Amino acid sequence: MSLLNVQKSRVSSVLNKDTVSFGRHHLFDGKEETCWNSEEGKSQFVQIIFEDLVTIESIKCQFQGGFAAKKMEVLRKNTDSGSEKDSEWIPFNLFHPQDDNSIQINEAARTPVREIKVLFEEGTDFFGRITMYMLNFFGQKLEETKEKESTQKEEEDNVITIF
C-alpha cells in the first residue's frame, strides 16, 4: 500500500528557488515529467512527516541520470526521549542508488515511524545537485496493522471445534 498521504514535507533547497518548477511537491505528484531539483551543495535532504504512524516496507525512487545520489540514507526521528523537540535522528536504512533514470525499489527496515529524513550526502553531479522525479513509500499504517491483527484474533476466537 502506498503511504503517500504526507502531512508535511520540506527539502534542503530548490534550484534557483523556483518552487513552482522544481519544488518538493513534484516528488509526490505522480507525474513523470515533474521533478525536485536541489541547489548545489554537498548534503541535500527531503524530510517527511506522515499523517499516521506507519511501517515502511519499501522505498521507490527515480533520479535523473547524472544527478543521482551516491548514498541515500534514511533516518527516523526518535521520539522515545519523550519530548518531540529534543528528539534525535536515528539511522533507518542505507541505499546506494544507481546513477540512471530507472525506477529503483529498495527494501526498508520495518520499524514504526511518523517522521523521516532522506539524506543525500553526495551527488553524482560535480556540484552535488540532486534531481529526483519520484519518492514513494510502501507499507502499512500502524492502525491498519493493529486492526488486521484484531480481526484475525476475533476470527480465531469465533471458530468452533467439534469433536
Structure confidence by residue, pLDDT tens digits, 7-27: 789 999 999 999 999 999 999
Instruction: Specify if 1 maps to a domain.
Output: no
Whole-number Å distance between alpha carbons of 90 and 25: 25
Q: Residue written as cell 518548477?
A: 21
Instruction: Specify if 41 maps to a domain.
Output: yes
Give the residue numbers spanning the domain of 128: 6-157
Structure confidence by residue, pLDDT tens digits, 86-97: 579 999 899 999
Instruction: Specify if 162 maps to a domain.
Output: no
Instruction: Specify if 106 maps to a domain.
Output: yes
* CATH number of the domain residue 29 falls in: 2.60.120.260
Mean model confidence pLDDT for the chain: 85
CA angle 73-46-144, nearest 5°?
85
**Number of domains making up the chain:** 1
Structure confidence by residue, pLDDT tens digits, 32-41: 999 999 999 8
What is the reported pLDDT for 163? 41
The distance in angstroms from the start CA to the end CA of the chain is 41
Is the Cα dihedral 74, 77, 80, 86 positive or negative? positive
For the entire predicted model, the pTM comes to 0.80
